Structure 1
Amino acid sequence: MTTSAPPVSRRSELLALAAAGVTVVLWASAFVSIRSAGEAYSPGALALGRLLAGALTLGAFLLIRREGLPPKAAWPGILISGLLWFGLYMVVLNWGEQKVDAGTAALVVNVGPLVMALLAGWLLKEGLPKRLLAGMAVSFAGAAVVGLSMSGEGNASVLGVLLCLLAAVSYAGGVVAQKPALKHASPLQVTTFGCLIGAVACLPFSGVLLSELGDAPASATLNMLYLGVFPTALAFTTWAYALARTTAGKMGATTYAVPAIVVLMSWLALDEVPGWLTLLGGVICLAGVGVSRSKGRTRVVATAEEPGPVVDPAPDAVDPADSRRA
């Protein structure tokens, strides 16, 4: 016997969509702010400063709302997402953006939704459709084109692309770990304690942060604080709010607009525009994502028992009941 998920109200859907929209815009702005603040702060110091600002902001809201500690069942997901997404992701992304421009970083990191689907298929037993595997191959080919387009600037640029790919993997792993935690704790609780865990993981960079604070211009420090309050505290909370009301795959799809917004923002704020070959690689990356998210064609078959069409899934579709038949 199977049970269907409870229906989601139209109002809840609209609120989730609005929350996702806030997340996309603020995360796009983060790529530009990281690029700017990275001129004065090293990757680990910038991550720690951002996470401390985010944790203080989130902690204040948590106290005001009196939500307290998350239940025990939520802690495994919070711990993993805190280490991968708030900790590792932010350090390697900061490092990568010191090697490549903001638009290129956003294009490469947007491979994340594919990796997210792969991890969900492996860890959550959701299956590995042929289109997902084909899409991954296309996207990583696009990432390779981006890497080749940057190779004229030396190995450091290729290293930047690889760091952004690592950021995509850690981001995807964090989302997959966060989704189950949201069944037991509120979005604010999951985000607050995930951010706090990430900040604790980055504490070894505290000495570097203190030394760089004295020499950094005010604009760089303000960018770091902006990253903590808005793209971290606010955007990660709106992301968790929306993620709790939809699937990880659909939420990953909302981030497809980020690279285009980042290219526009970096052009206006930093006068940075990726080269044509880099943009081509990014388009290939997104094309792979589109292939992975597309649906196979359906065909109509007739049945003797009951007249009328019956939809027969395409060969690469995954039947949720397959695991129960095994």
Structure 2
Amino acid sequence: MDQRRAAIAAAGVTVVLWASAFVGIRAAAPYFSPGALALGRLGAGAVTLLVFLLARREGLPPRAAWPGIVASGILWFGFYMVVLNWGEREVDAGTAAMVVNVGPIIMALLAGWVLREGFPPRLLGGILVSCCGAVVVGVSLSGGGRSSVLGVVLCLLAAISYAAGAVAQKPALRHASALQVTTYGCVIGLVVCLPFAGRLAAEVAGAPAHITLTVVYLGVFPTAIAFTTWAYAMARTTAGKMGSTTYLVPVVVIVISALVLHEVPAPLAILGGVLCLAGVAVSRGGRAPAAVEPVTRR
């Protein structure tokens, strides 16, 4: 399989597994607090990734990769997961996925600022459309009380941390393999979440076995496998193309959520989510960032 097809296949795996994560988090939310759920997920993910790393005999990444790994570990594996878990206590999985998927637009903003790529009119127009979508989602949930609006705000914070973590991770992939970047990012996220260890121990004791297995699933599949396939694809294609694949996540989330949790976002929330994604599509139109050269060191 050539690199292009391998990258497409890896991106497809990421989309499906990340979509299932939104549903799994929603199912576990009544039994696990946000920090404890993040720690349990990262623990299962870190163990799985370290086993893979040892099996492939890949050691520590080179020094040049560590700034990106540390930043993505704190922002994406640590902060993102805690905030997303908190947000999904307040809104359904489909709504959370639609709001979080303004992440690519934030990536473009960060690239314009940090990497000095500029702020083209399409980007600014897309931001306006997505902001309108987020407002519509918030209005659709306002009837459920302040907590629902809080959920939208938390999902937006998750989108910001996800985008910042992805931008920070990209340079690291020039120096280290996808497995190395993902493994050590996950371990750093685990360390960040260690203060929640006491809560996790108490909540595991009181949670049903199938919910605890859901937490393990979140660690092994949407974390260990999906974050690795994301990094693999990111190293072999453009950031714009990778960002576009995440547009499919909310659709898959809504289907899985309807089948498993019997939850479907309100029509107005769906309209707001569509506006969010339309804004992302507008902002990414015509942008083709340079691909990251895949690392040859394995």
What CA deviation, in whole Å up to 9, does each residue of 1:9-55 have, x standing for no partner? x8100000000000000000000000001111000000000000000
1:289 corresponds to 2:268: no
What CA deviation, in whole Å up to 9, does each residue of 1:211-238 have, x standing for no partner? 1111000111011000000000000000
Whether the 8 Å contact between 2:23 and 2:93 is mirrored in structure 1 is yes
Whether the 8 Å contact between 2:240 and 2:288 is mirrored in structure 1 is no
Shift of 1:265: 0.4
Which of residues 74, 78, 81 in structure 2 aligns to 1:83?
Answer: 74
Whether the 8 Å contact between 1:129 and 1:318 is mirrored in structure 2 is no
Alpha-carbon separation, structure 2, partners of 1:199 and 1:39: 22
1:127 corresponds to 2:118: yes
Code of the residue aligned with 2:5 in structure 1: it is L
1:242 corresponds to 2:218: no
Call closer, same or farther: CA 1:188–1:148 in 2, change over 3 Å: same
Shift of 1:166: 0.2
Whether the 8 Å contact between 1:81 and 1:177 is mirrored in structure 2 is yes
Whether the 8 Å contact between 1:116 and 1:249 is mirrored in structure 2 is no
Task: Give the structure with the higher percent helix.
Answer: 2
TM-score by length of 2: 0.95
Q: Which runs of 5+ in 1 are unaligned?
A: 1-9, 296-316, 321-326
Which of residues 46, 62, 65 in structure 2 aligns to 1:71?
Answer: 62
Q: Where in structure 2 are the equivalents of 1:290-305 lying within 5 Å?
A: 290-295=281-286
Identity of aligned residues (%): 69
What CA deviation, in whole Å up to 9, does each residue of 1:232-264 have, x standing for no partner? 000000000000011222211110000000000
1:278 corresponds to 2:278: no
Whether the 8 Å contact between 1:84 and 1:170 is mirrored in structure 2 is yes
1:103 corresponds to 2:123: no
1:193 corresponds to 2:184: yes
Which of residues 30, 52, 69 in structure 2 aligns to 1:39?
Answer: 30
Residue 137 of structure 2 corresponds to 146
1:27 corresponds to 2:15: no
Residue 255 of structure 2 corresponds to 264
Shift of 1:294: 2.0
Residue 224 of structure 1 corresponds to 215
Say how many residue pairs are matched. 290
Residue 296 of structure 2 corresponds to none
Alpha-carbon separation, structure 2, partners of 1:172 and 1:218: 34
What CA deviation, in whole Å up to 9, does each residue of 1:49-69 have, x standing for no partner? 000000000000101111100
Residue 309 of structure 1 corresponds to none
Alpha-carbon separation, structure 2, partners of 1:252 and 1:318: 11
1:179 corresponds to 2:170: yes
Whether the 8 Å contact between 2:239 and 2:289 is mirrored in structure 1 is no
Shift of 1:165: 0.2
Give RMSD over aligned pairs. Answer: 1.4
Residue 206 of structure 1 corresponds to 197
What CA deviation, in whole Å up to 9, does each residue of 1:88-137 have, x standing for no partner? 00000000000000000000000001001110111111111110011011
Whether the 8 Å contact between 1:127 and 1:318 is mirrored in structure 2 is no
Alpha-carbon separation, structure 2, partners of 1:279 and 1:136: 18
Report the 3-state secondary structure (helix = DSSP H, G, I; strand = E; otherwise coil) of the residue aligned with 2:2. helix
Code of the residue aligned with 2:137 in structure 1: it is V
Whether the 8 Å contact between 2:40 and 2:216 is mirrored in structure 1 is yes
Which of residues 57, 81, 92 in structure 1 aligns to 2:48?
Answer: 57
Q: Which moved more, 1:242-251 or 1:276-285?
A: 242-251
Shift of 1:318: 10
Larger Rg: 1
After the TM superposition, which parts of structure 1 deviate over 6 Å for at least 4 consecutive aligned residues?
Answer: 317-320
Whether the 8 Å contact between 2:244 and 2:281 is mirrored in structure 1 is no
Alpha-carbon separation, structure 1, partners of 2:198 and 2:187: 18
Shift of 1:289: 1.1
User: Larger relative contact order (C-alpha < 8 A, sep ≥ 6)?
Assistant: 2
Code of the residue aligned with 1:91 in structure 2: it is V
